[in-house]
Amino acid sequence: MNRFAIKAGLGACVLGASVLIPAQASAEPAATATGTELSGMTVFLDPGHQGSSEGHDLAQQVNDGRGNTKDCQTSGMTSLGGVPEHTINWNASQLVKSSLESLGAKVVLSRQDDTGWGGCVDERARAASESNADVAVSIHADSTAQGEDASKHGFHMIIPSLPIPDEKADAAQSGGGLEASKMMRDAYKSDGFVPANYAGVNDGLQTRADVAGPALTQVPLVFVEMGNGSNKEDSAQLESTDGQLKHAITITTGIVTYLLTGSQSAPAEELAAAPAATTTTPEASEDSASSTTTTTPKATTPQSTAPESAEFSELMEMLAPLLEVEGLDGLEDLVNDKNLGLVSELASTLMAVITGAGGN
């Protein structure tokens, strides 16, 4: 993973961020995580799709960022086991959110729950741009057939065909967005995930001009396709709590790697000063990525790292099946020589709660 060794995620105690603070090779050992490593940084997380489209027209035409239009949203895939993509994306994003917040980052979500409407793709891109995030990550899962497709499998990152008409979006995606996407790809490969073997994916990267989010987002964007829900093995991992956790660990690793070691040659503050694009500004709507607009100043006040009780309860409920099957000893298997790090305060707190509740 470039010139630094990093491992961030939810390892040791499932939810806490098990982090190796970046240390140059042959430099002094990594310092103890303090929970403030990402203070002053903002991450925009977009759990693709939404729980319900009731009252909304998915076919509504919105700006695609390239002078044309496309559908506001798609319904998303359903895994072979019957789990809708929006739920898989939501569960993974909640784990990533908790991990990032435990390191002091401010996390902005494109949608606030997994039951209602979350906006069209251009609205999400606009929200990402207005958040002035250091990086935006759109979390998705793919499919290649209505039923099983045993021959196609693997993860990939969607990157936009360049150049992008909007100058701010082009600067963001050709600079930090491309760098962050490659770092995320490297994190996936490092953690043993296999790059997709279909749809023109080259070493985990797929270049496309038909996905509106990257063409409309004016901050660096990573568009993650975690796996193919039409493939039996990929689908089983996407559906399970353990599998979602492993994806969340890897996604967190990619984000933290970029935030702490990336060149960030075109930070959001500089992009905000770039000349306005000649293309028209999108209205509101899309399908799985983000949404665009003018940027607003980024708050630098460190965010509270304490989990809200409702969110904590929801996350613990998600993890309950894994705890019941594996117990704490099983969870410890998620930590290996690659991700052994210094457990955050959140991790320690959760471990205390779990053991106090009589975990094995």
d(CA 56, CA 109): 20
Q: Which of 101, 225, 239, 286 is catalytic?
A: 225
Residue type, position 356, single letter: G
Report the run of H or E that residue 223 belongs to, with start and end: strand 221-228
How many other C-beta atoms lie within 10 A of the C-beta of residue 137? 28
List Cα–Cα distances, 333 to 15, 196, 212, 219, 330, in angstroms. Answer: 14, 26, 39, 36, 5
Spatial CB neighbours of 267, under 8 Å, sequence gap ≥ 6: 134, 176
Spatial CB neighbours of 262, under 8 Å, sequence gap ≥ 6: 176, 179, 180, 183
How does DSSP classify residue 84?
B
Maximum alpha-carbon separation in the chain: 61
317 flagged as catalytic = no
Catalytic positions are: 225
